[in-house]
Amino acid sequence: MISSFEPIILIYGILNRLQKKRIIQIYFSLFLMLLSALSEALTLSISLPFLASLSNPQNLYEFKIINYFLSFFRINTDNNLIIPIVIIFCLAICISSALRLLNIWVNCKVIALIGNDLGKLGYSNILKQSYSFHIETKSSQLITGLTSKLEYCLESIYSSFQFLLSITISFSIIITLLFINWRSTILSTLIFLLIYILISSKSRNYLTANSKLI
């Protein structure tokens, strides 16, 4: 049976063969993931004052951060408060979306560079093999290893990047919601976890069989 940690160990072994410059780029991508998570949490935090400003501006005074904002900018009326809240909310959404797009672009760029490095490394290793190796090994196997198998490898690395991004953003959103309403957050989290466990239990056997076949 395939261990749950085996893919992680294999991916780590692959990344460990990369040059130092590529490792730095991976760390930069992880840093962008953290920024994206923080921006999502900030947008979620601002959404409540934004909705309150549209429905009933008097509700804004229930938020401590709004009171600090009012005292700092010396705003006394509700009308003067709505416009800054709307502007800040729109800026937060733009920044969050820009960070997500930048993160996706950087991830794709890094994955492409990793694929280039692994392709060069694989081709170099093939050229260094002995003459008897090339006689005994079919060229189709070598070509498959440098094309489709490398593509599977890059897809796994990209999926790992997306998994880390999703986990980071989900964690930041859950933490933010816990500060807003911890009871509803815990209840909804448990419900979604139960649904996820049920779906994964149904699909795990198919995924395991396909992964063994590949």
Q: What is the pLDDT of residues 142-182, one digit of tens each?
A: 888 788 888 888 888 888 888 888 888 888 888 888 887 78
d(C-alpha 189, C-alpha 105), whole Å: 30
Residue-wise pLDDT tens digits, 13-54: 777 778 888 889 888 988 998 898 888 888 887 777 777 666
Residue range 178-205: mean pLDDT, rounded: 85
Considering 72-81, 95-104, 141-150, the range whose residues carry the highest mean pLDDT is 95-104
Residue in 30, 9, 14, 196 with CA at minimum distance from that of residue 122: 14
Residue range 55-67: mean pLDDT, rounded: 63
pTM for the structure as a whole:
0.69
d(C-alpha 112, C-alpha 133), whole Å: 29
Residue pair 167/30 in contact by the 8 Å Cβ criterion? no
